[in-house]
Amino acid sequence: MHRAIAAATPTLQPTQPPHNVYAVPRYTFYGQDDDVAFVETNDEFASLTETYDAYNGAQFHIVSTAGQLRVCLGDDDDTGCWNIALGPVSGANPVPAWPITLGAANGELSATITVDAPADARLIEVTA
């Protein structure tokens, strides 16, 4: 005699996105000591802080279909403080009108720049 065994039908539960998923990518740049640059990345791929050996400075491009932005970090030889510059990637790509915040870093040597970029933006290391 065979009995049919009813298979339990799993109930699908909606999943929540990971806590590090942001509606827009957010990139925060700052320097520390005399040769280390930091970039905090919070986007759909990662929430992390990367360190760059930047004794001669560091340059990054934030690239999106909505525009491109160049970010340069450099250590000022006279003051020992970090300077952060924003500008166009080229003459054909004007600076986009993305939200940018200037703030204080944890130490006395640098400011922070935070860029809220469009959803398809990616950070590219140009030099470090």
Confidence of residue 15 (pLDDT cuts 50, 70, 90): very low
33, HSE (Cβ side, Cα atoms, 13 Å): 10
The per-residue pLDDT for range 66-124, each reduced to its tens digit, is 999 999 988 888 888 888 999 999 999 899 999 999 998 777 788 899 999 999 999 99
Burial of 32 (0-12, 13-18, 19+ CB in 10 A): middle
pLDDT of amino acid 18: 42
What's the pLDDT score for residue 117?
95
- Cβ proximity of 41 and 25 under 8 Å: yes
Query: Higher model confidence: residue 61 or residue 10?
Result: 61
Q: What is the pLDDT of residues 20-77, one digit of tens each?
A: 345 689 999 998 876 788 889 887 777 888 888 777 788 999 999 999 999 998 888 8
